[in-house]
Amino acid sequence: MRRIMLIGSGGSGKSTLARKLGDRLALPVHHLDMLMWRPGWELLPRSEQTAVQSRLIDEKQWIIDGNYSGSMDMRIAAADTVILLDINRVICVYRALKRTWTYRNTSRPDMNPGCEERFDLHFLKWIWDYKKRNLPAVLEMLGQLPADKRVIILRSAKEVDSFLEDVEKREAG
């Protein structure tokens, strides 16, 4: 696992898992939200998004956290491991609300300064509908990957913790 892509609903724990994995595997971590948004929540133009991600995937080792479905195929092609966090939507909403409260009036660590944490009805709806609207296409894409791609689906905090423990044991042993 040297080129890891993390995907999943908002609030699923992608950024947290990316940081923990980066620490355990000594890999650079790239949060797409930080790279794709300018201060004031201005999204980079599509061409710049593609250029940024092209530079990232050219690196020898990385962890890239974020969905961005329009460019997911290029990251999947370059990744050796894809981790999908398929966490219950109630938990995702709770975590997103908690994150909003924790980082109110400021930017969270995986965002650019000037992108103050926010929570709105659109984001709530995206999280709530993720399993129905986004997940089927993601699962279909993952199901079509060649055998040399490692796909890991984690469905609970317990599974995430167990996965991290396994990674730590492998790295230590």
The reported pTM is 0.95
> Cβ(32)–Cβ(44) under 8 Å?
no
All domains in the chain, ordered by first residue: 3-163 (3.40.50.300)
From CA 14, how far away is CA 124, in angstroms rounded?
A: 17
C-alpha distances out from residue 72 to 12, 112, 172, Å: 17, 21, 32
pLDDT tens sequence across 114-129: 999 888 999 999 999 9
pLDDT tens per residue across span 35-80: 999 999 999 999 999 999 999 999 999 999 999 988 899 999 999 9
